[in-house]
Structure 1
Amino acid sequence: MKKIYLFLWCLCLTIPAALAQTPDKGGFTCADAKNRKGHMLLADGITSEPHRALMRQYDINYYKLNLELERNSLDVRGSVTIGATVLANGFVNFAFELHPDMQLQQVLIDGVNSEVIRTGGEAIATLRAAKNNKQKVKVEIFYSGRAPSGASAAIGNGLNTAVAQPWGKQVLWSLSEPFAAYEWFPCKQLLADKADSVEVWVTTDVNNKVGSNGVLQRVTPMPNQKHRFEWKSTYPIAYYLISVAVSQYQEYSFEVPIPGVNQPVFVQNYIYDHPQALATYKAGIDRTADFLQIFSEMFGPYPFYKEKYGHSMAPMGGGMEHQTMTTQQDFGFTLTAHELGHQWWGDEVTNADWSHIWLNEGFASYSELLALERLQPDQRQTWLNRASQFALIPPKGQVFVQDSTNVSRIFYYPLTYMKAGFVLHMLRHTLQEDALFFKVLQEYRKEFRYKVATTRGFQRVAEWVTGRSLSYFFDQWVYGEGYPSFNVTWNQEENNLYLKSVQTTSSAATPFFRTEVEYKITTTLKDTVVLLQHDSPTKQYKFRVSGQVLSITVDPNQWLLENSPPATQDPSLNSYTPEEFSIYPNPTVGSLTLRGGEGLPVQLVVYDMIGRKVFTLVPSGPYNNVSHLRPGSYILKAEFIGKTEIVRFVKL
């Protein structure tokens, strides 16, 4: 989900303290009632632990919502059917969640009336006879009521209604993330349990259309000038992605061929039924085709291509990535790219609990940059500047969310969106190869397709693909706090450039960041960018340069989240004792990291143990891929200017 920030960026950057207190998704204060539940760390949901334990005793197979809704009312009436598989012997209590403002008329379990005990938003229906592991249960819940207001969701409430201006169209829309689905339908708000399928039937006035998940099966005429929209999706879906949007819409749809599948994606858009609406939004909507093709190429085919993608408009102040049909206020470039990116990162692969929300929002935010790089490359630097400025705003904290019941912290924009997006940007740079980076994303997607993932799960896939240990990277950037700064001094004597870089950090929680740093050396003859490993707080280097050095720039291409002062010349810097040259890890499964020596070698030559040359490469950075080598022992010759280093390594 992405809250619109165009109107906030200037304010937030000039008054950072104000932004630090403002929840990211909409400027709403998180629901006091939810945040007074003890701030339980890493809780998967907002109900009590005993109630969550009861809900974990069954696995949801499907939801079927059959509701009466109108575009100008928060009143809800109808039924929800939940099909489930029992996971425990002696199962007698079917636990679910429903907001206290909703009244239960009847609950049937396997067609038999059930008694229900309710405590706040917790409900327990009792079975007449116990069921055992792997048996099926069907629960039909009939209810009605008025959905609450009070900004308990990420933007607004579970159900919202407002007039879209300047179009003058009243809209009802849902937004259940993170804990507001129970405000409009009975459900199980545990991320780990995705429903295998969902049907959403909505009866409404004949002047309305209803957007929802999956494929529109039919529109059935009903009495009293009403009709029923009947949607169905057969893909696994998390509870918060089930959606409705009701208004006087017109439909604008088209098909998009995408790489990797033999059928086009149907893109179905519900926009306001106004003579000027389509002309206003068409160009932005049409960009969806480019985004679908680009992301399918980068991440793998669009996950729900057998059904559709699309949009339902609502005056919500941003967008929400409802599975197969995003709810969106307009069609700005980054907003549309962000919400489509979520179909992979959040919808197909969902965070296992809200502490790992960066796997949704950071990935979708970085999708914005990937789209800009391909379609509007001149805007790449603007995105990076903005992301960096937000990520550097105090107060600092982890990208990982420690209090996963705190709505404002879950969706805190500087950390959950911008720093999280920058984490992926830095991982891409660390891997030093775009093909390898996108392979990591594709394999991560395959591993957790239609399931839920954790940060360590993503790390495990990245390590498997790259053949490298990345614990240090995730420990410092996801579980650590703050960012580094590099105080750089330099001096030139004849053709020798001496450079000293001292790292400090913004948070005592992470006193050192092991990272790769680019330095641009500008001389009277040329610019040269070198990539150096920063594996200790103070590093010294010596380079041979041509021409007179004019300046040194830290991180010129903005690959690193850092806040360094300008480099300065220090005439006293005139000596250098190089570190002993070494490589690690050794043995290795996929890559060798160079450490020490005088900068980067001119070339690396690998020999087998009987002296035959295996391959030669010119290193572009400290990391060098040797995954193609057969297991065995090898000799590495690193050729520096005026010096050669020889080491032995083992490829596993």
Structure 2
Amino acid sequence: MIAPLPTHSYIHASKRLLLALFFWLIGAFTCLFAQRVEEHSCAAARITGTPILLADGITSEEHRELMRQYDMHWYKLDLGLERNALDISGSVTMYASVQANSLTEFAFELHPNFTIQRVLLDGVVCPVRRSGSEVVVVLPAIKARQDKFKVQVFYAGRAPSGAKAAIGNGLNTELAQPWNQQVTWSLSEPFAAHEWFPVKQILEDKADSVEVWVTTDVSNKVGSNGLLQRVTPMGNQKHRYEWKSNYPIAYYLISVAVGQYEEYSYQVPLPGAAQPMLVQNYLYPGALGTYKAEVDRTGEFLQLFSELFGLYPFYKEKYGHSMAPIGGGMEHQTMTTQSTFEFSLTAHELAHQWWGDEVTCADWSHIWLNEGFASYGEFLAIERLLPAQRLNWLNRSVQSALTQPQGSVFVKDSTNVNRIFSAALSYRKGAMVLHMLRHTLQSDALFFQALQAYRNEFRHKVATTRDFQKVVERVSDRSLQYFFDQWVYGEGFPVFNISWAQKGNQLFLRSQQTGSSQVTPFFTTEVEYKISTSVKDTVVVVQQNQPSQDYQFTLPGEVLSIEVDPDQWLLESVSAVQQDASVIPTDLETVLVYPNPTQDVVNLKGGQGVPAQVSIYDMAGRHIRTFVPAGSSFSIADMGAGAYILRLIYGSTYKQLRVLKL
């Protein structure tokens, strides 16, 4: 969700990193949102002390069960707000249908700071009971299953303030410097929507549409979701901004931003869209002169992500930004709230429109499906538009993830807001999971096909990690249980100790791997090695299937150095790369392949009998097939002409040969 202000050109921080660091410095709160280098912590907490850890951080399971008895279809917020106050008055209308066999009570959440003036059910006044933020409306008559009904809540009060955690409160007002602009804005993730409007805070129940009406001083503009329908004069130097979105929306993505904005808008043509799309930005007066180039990048990002992920999800409405001193960004649907503009921050928040807004994590334990995906969106934009910074981004992400040798990407305690939005785990390691999956599939076309299939299957819905896994397995036609078990549900990362020795033109390499966490002591993974000799540099890819594994390569010249994972496809730590003559096997036998070149049959001679496994790769390192040979001969007649690498496994020994197919 949110991202803190960048301290580097590609930092995409955490929603309120600056605020968190402030409280850390004064000792009031320890918030380790580590190096938020391009980290955008999407969320926020309202933890002011030791929190009561309930299902969503604030709501009892009993109350959540009451809320699950109906399906939310539509919100209409009709509120009075100003740019310099947290006072709210107005009404929220909720249109819903009964999912239980019958409904006698309608439950929602609203912070106790607000006085409920009256509640109407289809125009009839209803009694209300409250316990903290939990509100129950007693219906005048029983509603049957599938019955539709409308509840209108009139309320007033001052939104809470002073939350000592990552992102502040649900509604905030602050002076933005150096612009000297006062702004009021919302930030509801993960549990704070109830701090400014009556709401059902359950991720799986997206509203089908939303209207946000805000009456404010005529000097203000109001940014929100969807398209601006009209600005209606209200008298007394007030006017009303009326926004509407017809796309499904999760509760925490409903937003407002109120300030003395200047509008800067333009149109962007998108692949697959019949008409250019509106990019609408509400900026501080004078800010366009500073940020125009970066704001304009939004068009490039929209086109790139539409190419990679499929057409922008809300293209019939808009995308844009409302500025607020948020300390980063928050991916409000169709109109991100952003404090500044720089490459990674803007790319991250836009990527969220696919990953988090259109497809939303089913619960906060799977937040990496939002944050890891959006973080990887940063990388994809850099890879395409700023390729010289590719390794820089990867190295920073790896270094961030390595600060957490324990802990899983999957969030075991989804009531702990600081853990949900861990920069190292949910953002950086989450992004590296996608990067490693891309390498494991050995095909960019297959990787993006899987992302688009996942997006299409869960469009405007919620998903879990296992849902994503099943889609990737179906598209790639292979089991990836081991991959997700170790990288998402497991903990830590592999640590490599590499020993090698050379004899003639044979290089012998032994990889000994341990896990940084005892929870996951070993990672099955592919590893690249860059081997530099006096003749040339060679990159080889090997599969490590056991904690200690030996490999053998035929190489020209004297080996000068060996680098593990030179292109940073793997999240790993290397403890040592050292020469050690003991890795040369005493029973060394040469393996020959003949005839070479061949049109059909490959014969193997020597070695330790029939290899346990044969893998074939093309010269670019792409995997062709892996099989268990029935004997020392096999056919490659079905393969195209060209050079291929044969990788043979004999027990714990690995050997690599080259064959030319005519």
For residue 594 of structure 1, the aligned residue among 626, 638, 646 is 626
Paired position in structure 2 for 1:582 = 613
The answer as to 2:38 corresponding to 1:6 is: no
- Contact 1:93-1:125 at 8 Å conserved across structures: yes
When the two structures are superposed, what TM-score results if normalisation uses the length of structure 2? 0.87
Whole-angstrom CA distance in 1 between matches of 2:209 and 2:537: 57
Give the AA of the match of 1:121.
S
Whole-angstrom CA distance in 2 between matches of 1:63 and 1:493: 73
Q: Give, in angstroms, the shift of residue 506 of structure 1.
A: 0.5
- Name the Cα RMSD after superposition: 2.9
Paired position in structure 1 for 2:97 = 85
Q: Give, in angstroms, the shift of residue 572 of structure 1.
A: 2.6
For residue 276 of structure 2, the aligned residue among 244, 248, 264 is 264
The answer as to 2:366 corresponding to 1:356 is: yes
The answer as to 2:51 corresponding to 1:36 is: yes
Cα 1:642–1:320 shift into 2, 3 Å = closer
Give the AA of the match of 1:2.
I
The alignment of Structure 1 onto Structure 2 pairs a total of residues equal to 607
The answer as to 2:385 corresponding to 1:375 is: yes
Paired position in structure 2 for 1:253 = 265
For residue 376 of structure 2, the aligned residue among 359, 366, 371 is 366
Paired position in structure 2 for 1:588 = none
Paired position in structure 2 for 1:631 = none
- Contact 2:206-2:248 at 8 Å conserved across structures: yes
- Contact 1:20-1:395 at 8 Å conserved across structures: no
Q: Deviations over 1:342-395 (max 9, x none)?
A: 000000000001000000000000000000011111111111111111101136
- Contact 2:306-2:312 at 8 Å conserved across structures: yes
Paired position in structure 1 for 2:552 = 542
Q: How does 1:180-329 map to 2 (within 5 A)?
A: 180-273=192-285, 276-329=286-339
Whole-angstrom CA distance in 1 between matches of 2:50 and 2:625: 46
When the two structures are superposed, what TM-score results if normalisation uses the length of structure 1? 0.88
- Contact 1:22-1:29 at 8 Å conserved across structures: no
Whole-angstrom CA distance in 1 between matches of 2:488 and 2:169: 29
Give the AA of the match of 1:580.
P
Paired position in structure 2 for 1:120 = 132
Cα 1:299–1:618 shift into 2, 3 Å = farther
Whole-angstrom CA distance in 2 between matches of 1:237 and 1:515: 38
Q: Give, in angstroms, the shift of residue 90 of structure 1.
A: 2.3
- Contact 2:187-2:255 at 8 Å conserved across structures: yes
Q: Give, in angstroms, the shift of residue 280 of structure 1.
A: 0.7
Whole-angstrom CA distance in 1 between matches of 2:165 and 2:559: 55
Paired position in structure 1 for 2:512 = 502
Paired position in structure 1 for 2:599 = none
Q: Deviations over 1:593-619 (max 9, x none)?
A: 53799xxx9x99545xxxxx4656755
- Contact 2:552-2:656 at 8 Å conserved across structures: no
Q: Deviations over 1:444-497 (max 9, x none)?
A: 000100100100000000000000100000000000000001111111111111
Paired position in structure 2 for 1:95 = 107
Whole-angstrom CA distance in 1 between matches of 2:183 and 2:198: 22
3-state SS of paired residue (1:229): strand
Cα 1:619–1:537 shift into 2, 3 Å = farther
Give the AA of the match of 1:594.
T
3-state SS of paired residue (2:311): coil
For residue 149 of structure 2, the aligned residue among 123, 137, 140 is 137
3-state SS of paired residue (1:473): helix
3-state SS of paired residue (1:310): strand
Q: Give, in angstroms, the shift of residue 22 of structure 1.
A: 1.9
Cα 1:152–1:560 shift into 2, 3 Å = same
Q: Deviations over 1:571-594 (max 9, x none)?
A: 23222576933269xxxxxx9753
Q: Give, in angstroms, the shift of residue 26 of structure 1.
A: 7.8
Paired position in structure 1 for 2:583 = 573
Whole-angstrom CA distance in 2 between matches of 1:522 and 1:461: 39
Q: Percent identity?
A: 60
Paired position in structure 2 for 1:177 = 189
Cα 1:30–1:304 shift into 2, 3 Å = closer
3-state SS of paired residue (1:72): coil
Q: How does 1:459-538 map to 2 (within 5 A)?
A: 459-538=469-548
3-state SS of paired residue (2:83): coil
- Contact 1:2-1:335 at 8 Å conserved across structures: no
For residue 418 of structure 2, the aligned residue among 408, 411, 415 is 408
Give the AA of the match of 1:346.
G
Give the AA of the match of 1:98.
L
Whole-angstrom CA distance in 1 between matches of 2:645 and 2:31: 43
Cα 1:481–1:285 shift into 2, 3 Å = same
Q: Deviations over 1:56-107 (max 9, x none)?
A: 0000000000000000000000000000011112211000000011110000
- Contact 1:153-1:179 at 8 Å conserved across structures: no
5+ unaligned residues in a row in structure 1: which ranges?
Answer: 585-590, 608-612, 624-638, 645-652
Whole-angstrom CA distance in 1 between matches of 2:483 and 2:145: 42
Cα 1:186–1:152 shift into 2, 3 Å = farther
- Contact 1:154-1:178 at 8 Å conserved across structures: no
- Bigger Cα displacement from structure 2, 22-31 vs 455-464: 22-31
Cα 1:182–1:427 shift into 2, 3 Å = same
3-state SS of paired residue (1:343): coil
For residue 558 of structure 1, the aligned residue among 568, 574, 579 is 568
Q: Deviations over 1:409-431 (max 9, x none)?
A: 11111101011011101001111
Cα 1:457–1:332 shift into 2, 3 Å = same
Cα 1:236–1:583 shift into 2, 3 Å = farther
Cα 1:379–1:2 shift into 2, 3 Å = farther
Q: Give, in angstroms, the shift of residue 202 of structure 1.
A: 0.1
Whole-angstrom CA distance in 1 between matches of 2:165 and 2:176: 20
Q: Give, in angstroms, the shift of residue 567 of structure 1.
A: 1.4
- Contact 1:292-1:302 at 8 Å conserved across structures: yes
Paired position in structure 2 for 1:54 = 66
Give the AA of the match of 1:581.
A
Give the AA of the match of 1:230.
E
Whole-angstrom CA distance in 2 between matches of 1:622 and 1:104: 71
Q: How does 1:152-167 map to 2 (within 5 A)?
A: 154-167=166-179
Q: Give, in angstroms, the shift of residue 155 of structure 1.
A: 1.1
Q: Give, in angstroms, the shift of residue 196 of structure 1.
A: 0.1
Give the AA of the match of 2:59.
T
- Contact 1:296-1:302 at 8 Å conserved across structures: yes
- Contact 2:31-2:166 at 8 Å conserved across structures: no
Whole-angstrom CA distance in 1 between matches of 2:405 and 2:578: 29
Cα 1:494–1:621 shift into 2, 3 Å = closer
Cα 1:622–1:431 shift into 2, 3 Å = farther
Q: How does 1:322-471 map to 2 (within 5 A)?
A: 322-394=332-404, 396-471=406-481
Whole-angstrom CA distance in 1 between matches of 2:500 and 2:198: 65
Cα 1:453–1:28 shift into 2, 3 Å = closer
3-state SS of paired residue (1:564): strand
Give the AA of the match of 2:81.
L
Give the AA of the match of 2:626.
L
- Contact 1:553-1:566 at 8 Å conserved across structures: no
Cα 1:256–1:243 shift into 2, 3 Å = same
Q: Give, in angstroms, the shift of residue 44 of structure 1.
A: 4.8
Cα 1:91–1:527 shift into 2, 3 Å = same
- Contact 1:533-1:622 at 8 Å conserved across structures: no
